[in-house]
Amino acid sequence: MHLSKKQSSRTKMAALLLSTGLVAAACGTASPASNSAPAEPSSAETGAAVETQAAPAAVEPTDAVALAFQADDPVAGFPIDLAFSGLEPLGPDFVYEGWVVVDGTPVSTGRFTISENDGARTYVGDNLATQADLDSASDFVLTIEPAVGDDPAPAAAKPLGGAITDCVAELTHAHPAALGNDFSTAAGQFIIATPTTAADTTDDYSGVWFIEVTSAGPVAGLDLPTLPAGWVYEGWAVIDGTPVSTGRFTDATMPDDFGGFSGPDANPPFPGEDFIVNAPAGLTFPTNLTDGGTIVLSIEPEDDDSPAPFAFKPLAASVDGAEVETAIQLGAGPGFPSGTATVCTVEAAAPAPAPAAEPAAAPATAAPELSITG
């Protein structure tokens, strides 16, 4: 894009962002947990709505966006088999814990960690469920717990759950005890722009904002289900293979909790970030997000010490070659982990003997039904 065109476009963008007094939240500091005080709104003339870019194809998982592995190792002393696909390791301050629901009461089947290399599980807590508990359980639920100082009750963050049928629970995020939603209706859009450096047209490709720009000003660009307790949304820009957070939020109509990379000017009061200052090690800001970049929306445990996106990534889009200030539609992301839990024992009975040919014998006794035993 020629500089003169960029300057004209940037003037239009500033007008759209500032026209209705919606620019109220100033950039935060370098701390991801803080926001600065609101800035005074400015006024400018409104412009026309920006052009909309066609929805991109679904983004395939990459090492920077998703890890996937199988973990199905039985562990002595834990009479339960777990197998996961796509479930990622947690940070050092948190562990997974399994639970069976017995007559409405959760009983722990043990706390464990997952290896990033091969997905092997290492149990770090006692199994409290008896075989009788496992045999009569109605559901299996997985939680994320503090590694130290854990409350005996299940934590709010429950990534997977499943009803037990014939001793096996198919574990998904859509189970009512987990996220409770399949996120098939999740949708949204964003723009590439840097409103926090309004006077500088050289860094226009170094910011992402989850907004829709209309003739009346910016509005929320994300249409997302409300998350249950224990979970938050988080935006990410994958820059040179490194995921960098744009901030965490629960309401897409409000600013997120981070502004530590943005410039000195006011930003739209919606989730998003400019990558201008305080670049993480190995990266340089400003950058060009449209040079092979990917934008990802993840669902994160509210208590989370991992610097990488969690395994729940409902939306994503490539921005390779995209134009600044052009609406980009989010498509299906890399998806969600899943698993199975085998929590009781099924023993197949021996087949009934065949009747004798001659002479005719009494009818054979029917084989007994499958039984659940301890």
Query: Which residue range is the domain that position 304 belongs to?
Result: 3-62+183-335
- Torsion over CA: 258, 143, 316, 163 (sign): negative
Does the bond joining 359 to the residue before it have cis omega, within 30 degrees of 0?
A: yes
Query: Which amino acid is present at 345?
Result: T
User: Do residues 273 and 206 touch, judged by C-beta distance below 8 A?
Assistant: no
191 shares a domain with 108: no
What is the pLDDT at residue 188?
A: 97
Task: Give residue 207's pLDDT.
Answer: 98
Please give the Cα distance from 155 to 299 (Å, whole number): 16
Q: Report the chain's C-alpha Rg in angstroms.
A: 26
Same domain, 148 and 82: yes
Residue 46 has a pLDDT of: 37
Could you tell me if 141 and 242 lie in one domain? no
**Does residue 146 sit in the same domain as residue 109?**
yes
Write down the pLDDT at residue 291. 95
Question: 245 near 44, Cβ under 8 Å?
Answer: no
* 354 part of a folded domain: no
The count of structural domains within the chain is 2
Kindly state whether residue 361 falls inside one of the protein's structural domains.
Answer: no
Element (H, E) at 284: none
Please tell me whether residues 245 and 269 are part of one structural domain: yes
In this predicted structure, what is the pLDDT of residue 360?
45
Q: What is the DSSP letter of 103?
A: T
The reported pLDDT for the residue numbered 347 is 52
The side-by-side arrangement of strands in the sheet containing 105-114 is 70-71, 81-85, 338-342, 168-171, 160-165, 139-146, 94-102, 105-114, 121-123
Whole-angstrom distance, CA of residue 194 vs CA of residue 309: 23
pLDDT of residue 353: 52
CA–CA dist 47, 35 (Å, integer): 29
What pLDDT shows up at residue 304? 84
| Same domain, residue pair 173 and 187 | no
Cα 216 to Cα 22, 124, 213: the distances in Å are 10, 55, 8
Residue 355 in any domain: the answer is no
- Are residues 9 and 86 part of one domain? no
User: Do residue 188 and residue 323 come from a single domain?
Assistant: yes
Residues 233 and 123 in one domain: no
Adjacency order of strands within the sheet including 331-335: 242-249, 231-239, 294-301, 312-318, 331-335
Are residues 322 and 187 located together in one domain of the fold? Answer: yes
List the chain pLDDT tens, one digit each, 374 residues: 333 333 444 444 444 443 333 333 333 333 333 333 333 333 333 333 444 444 444 444 333 333 333 333 444 446 788 999 999 899 999 999 999 999 999 999 999 999 887 778 899 988 999 989 999 999 999 999 999 988 899 999 999 999 999 999 999 999 999 999 999 999 999 999 999 999 999 999 999 999 999 999 899 999 999 999 999 999 999 999 999 999 999 999 999 999 999 999 999 999 999 999 999 999 999 999 999 999 999 999 998 888 899 999 999 999 999 999 999 999 999 989 999 999 986 552 234 455 444 444 444 433 333 222 22
The pTM for the full model equals 0.75
Question: Does 256 fall in a domain?
Answer: yes
What pLDDT is attached to residue 5?
Answer: 37
